[in-house]
Amino acid sequence: MKNEKLQKLREDYSKHSLDESDVNENPFKQFEQWMEEAVQAEVPEPNAMTLATVDANQKPHTRVVLLKGLEDGSFVFYTNYASNKGKDLEQNPNASLCFLWLQLERQVRIDGTVEKISKEESEAYFRQRPYKSQLGALASNQSAEVPNREFLEKKFEELEEKYPEGKVPMPEIWGGYRLKPEAIEFWQGRRSRLHDRIKYEQVGNKWEIKRLSP
């Protein structure tokens, strides 16, 4: 695609507005409100979020993961601890999340630090997953190189024969993380690129609210 065509791709946002006088003083309640509105608007996979990490060489990496919990002022997701993102987080717990709900012309950015949740909490969630998702977690040595697709499918079939439904063990290197935010920014698209940006920053035990220039 030519640059000229890319440069002409643009939308003028006008569905909603966001003002610092209207937002909840608690950023988690504000997030829950927006998440509920995204669900009601039938945004595809509204809990999909970009997770950004930094490796040992200070190189950033991003990928999309799914939010699976809002607990004790933190955002919870699950993955393979031996994956590339798991290795990044082991070396550098600083991370960022980003939600994009285009149908509502909204974005939420979250910066903070990550820590593992307890094995018991991970086990409880793992048991709620669909049977084949449990098998998939066991079959995948996430981020490791494999020879081909058939290799994965064969391993999956072997595990399916070995473990009946309800008997799949949670992988030892699989579990959850919680990201504890230090800053949360709510972005609402507006006309003429004069977007609304309301940022919460944690100062001591309180959240300071400020408006940012678009």
Give the C-alpha separation, 44 to 159, whole Å.
31
pLDDT of residue 60: 98
Pairing of strands 48-54, 69-71: unpaired
Q: Is the pTM of this model over 0.75?
A: yes
| DSSP secondary structure letter of residue 41 | T
pLDDT of residue 1: 84
pLDDT of residue 12: 85
Spell out, as residue ranges, where the chain has pLDDT lower than 50: none
Domains and CATH numbers, the chain: 11-119+176-212 (2.30.110.10)
pLDDT of residue 181: 98
**Catalytic pick among 63, 127, 191, 193:** 193
Give the C-alpha separation, 179 to 115, whole Å.
7
pLDDT of residue 144: 86
Q: What is the pLDDT of residues 51-66, one digit of tens each?
A: 999 999 999 999 999 9
Q: What is the pLDDT of residues 125-157, one digit of tens each?
A: 999 999 999 999 999 988 888 899 999 999 999
Q: Where are the beta strands (DSSP E) in the chain?
A: 48-54, 60-66, 69-71, 74-80, 94-101, 106-116, 174-188, 196-203, 206-212
Sequence-separated (6 or more) residues with CB below 8 Å from residue 136: 156
pLDDT of residue 141: 86
193 annotated active-site: yes
pLDDT of residue 5: 87
Specify the 3-state DSSP secondary structure of 31. Answer: helix
